[in-house]
Amino acid sequence: MKQLITLIILSIALAMTGCGGASDEGHVHGEEGDHTHEQPAQQAQGDQGHSHDGESDHGQEEGEPQLEGAGVITQWTDKTELFMEYPELIVGQEATFAVHLTRLSDFKPISESEVKFVFSSERGNEGSLTETEVQVPGIYGPDVIFDRAGRYDLMIIILGMVNDTLQVNGIPVYNSAGDIPQTHTEEDPNLITFLKEQQWDIPFATQEVQQRTLTQTVDATGEIMAAQNSQAVVSAPFSGIILSSQNGNLPVVGQQLQKGTSMVVLNPAIQSGGGDNYAQQFINAQSELELAEANLERSKRLYTKEAIPQTELQKARIEYRQALTRYQTISEVIQIDTTNVDSYGESPQSYRFELKAPITGTLVESYVTPGMQVEAGQPLYRIADASKVWLKAHVPAAQQSRIANAGQAAFRVQGDDRLYEVSELGGRLISRANSVDPQNRTLSLIYELDNTQNGLPLGMFSTVHINTDTKENVLAIPQSALIEEEGNYNVYVHVSGESFRKQRVTTGIEHRGWVEITSGLDGGEHVVTENAYQVKLASLSSEAPSHGHTH
């Protein structure tokens, strides 16, 4: 809504029309950013002007002298971009400020906000007004009448979509048009006009060119594997058969198993290669252990009564330890149902040997089919504890010299756009191959990762970015800002609110979506990082876009 503020000496008189109220309060919600204060007004806009409620454009014909009093301001904070235009300011004449406000979090116009304009001079506060409604989102148009010439400062306080404060200093006001200095600055023909309405209507973003630390990387293919020390193979301890009647609930690949969980019931062959069936071997080991334990207890009692020498007691202890070792060895991976121990050996169904999970983990391979016969030592299952995994990167042999100082890395797995940093997963480099794999001509690097929270699937392929050399304090921009043309790279520099310049650059190393700029930019410029191609199309347009804002 249009509002009018009259600034008078040592007092404030507010005359407002439309919606919005006056306020003399001041709030500060942010720090002052970098800004440009261009003069004259058309220097960055060519022959385009802004109209307000049917008022005539304040542009000037090309080649005519331009008045220094008009101004174009572009200023950034960490939250807001200000693009403001104002005409020549003459005492007693109403002037409209065209204030364009953009939220930098998404580069959308600021609307549904309270925007307060506070003017001050060396004499102090000269007056203020507040706008809460606008006809075009993002464009505010306070109307102001100045009663005295001089330099004025303007504070713009935003409350709503963002809470921020912008400061513009040194706005000139003259007693008459004759007092305004004239300049003959020619328009820069290389500037490209891309209006705020166009920027707001598409996905759009800019980024300040700053110094960053970048790291060179080598790309490699990779695979998520079970750590060698966190997996186990369950093999058949003897020749036998996996009966369907006793194995109706076999575990499946992908199932989580706890240590000690029964996996399969294996019935041994009645006759083993050694002559005794396995059940008999177990019974013999169990019986020997019971006899050795009883003999040890008897020897202890006799030794206490001095009925036997100490050597007899020591002999009983040795026999007990030997029997215990044999029993533990034969029963380490099986769980015996001892309820029918008296009938062991009478038939294959008279005993049950249950193979147990040796570790807690995920079943990753199974070779078991009900009814199959197995030989002693034949693998039946493979279990892996996926809380710790390996990332094995296969680096082309041609990159051998570049990975000599390989450090941290990052990777993406298939079907997931997330970039995983090895350091964020508690990872570390544990192996670097010194020989080339003759099959695929690669060198392998192995990183161990904590997979407790992320659940990276075993066997998943990935793309690995391995850090090599690091450069500090280099100028860098997002890779999305680069436009390639015939082997050269260009960027579009945001000169002012609606003016852009095409700039050729040379690039250096790339790292995590950022690229080093070795020439073409000095730092501090703002470059277009999203939809830069639309700015390029605007530069190819044969006609300048129509340009009018209504407040």
Per-residue pLDDT reduced to its tens digit, 520-534 = 999 999 999 999 999
Task: Give the single-character DSSP code of 342.
Answer: G
Do 228-384 and 206-215+471-540 fall under one CATH topology? no
Domain boundaries, the chain: 3-188, 206-215+471-540, 228-384
- Determine the number of helices (DSSP H) and then strands (DSSP E) in the chain: 4, 39
Once rounded to an integer, what is the mean pLDDT over residues 484-495?
93
Instruction: Return all residues near 143 (Cβ < 8 A) that are at least 6 apart.
Output: 2, 3, 4, 5, 94, 95, 96, 97
CA atoms of 424 and 449, how far apart (whole Å): 9
Give the model confidence (pLDDT) of 200-227 as tens digits. Answer: 999 999 999 999 989 888 889 999 988 8
What string of DSSP letters covers 318-336?
Answer: HHHHHHHHHHHHHHTTEEE
Class of CATH domain 228-384: mainly beta
Fold for the domain defined by 3-188: Immunoglobulin-like (2.60.40)
Cα distance from N-terminal residue to C-terminal residue, the chain: 6
Query: Is the pLDDT confidence value at 19 over 80?
Result: no
Instruction: Give yes or no for a contact between 364 and 382, defined as CB atoms under 8 angstroms apart.
Output: yes
Instruction: Give yes or no for a contact between 426 and 449, defined as CB atoms under 8 angstroms apart.
Output: yes
Higher pLDDT pick, 517 / 18? 517
Fold for the domain defined by 206-215+471-540: 2.40.420
Higher pLDDT pick, 550 / 372? 372
**Tokens representing residue 163 in the block:** 């809470």
Query: Is the pLDDT confidence value at 375 over 50?
Result: yes
Which span out of 24-28, 38-42, 142-146 was modeled with the highest average pLDDT? Answer: 142-146
| pLDDT number for residue 281 | 72
CA atoms of 186 and 46, how far apart (whole Å): 10
Give the model confidence (pLDDT) of 416-465 as tens digits. Answer: 888 898 988 888 988 888 888 888 899 899 999 998 887 788 888 999 99
Strand extents, DSSP E, 61-123: 66-67, 71-76, 80-86, 95-96, 98-103, 108-109, 114-121
- CB count, 10 Å around CB of 330? 18
| pLDDT number for residue 185 | 63
pTM here is 0.60
Instruction: Return all residues near 318 (Cβ < 8 A) that are at least 6 apart.
Output: none
Closest CA to 130 of 33, 25, 8: 25
Instruction: Give yes or no for a contact between 334 and 281, defined as CB atoms under 8 angstroms apart.
Output: no
Task: Look at the chain and count its residues.
Answer: 551
Sign of CA dihedral 193, 196, 198, 204: positive
CA atoms of 227 and 443, how far apart (whole Å): 18
**Tokens representing residue 268 in the block:** 């041994």
CA atoms of 462 and 369, how far apart (whole Å): 32
CA atoms of 496 and 151, how far apart (whole Å): 22
CA atoms within 13 A of residue 533's CA, in its CB half-sphere: 4
Give the model confidence (pLDDT) of 61-91 as tens digits. Answer: 343 444 456 889 999 999 999 999 999 999 9
Higher pLDDT pick, 248 / 60? 248
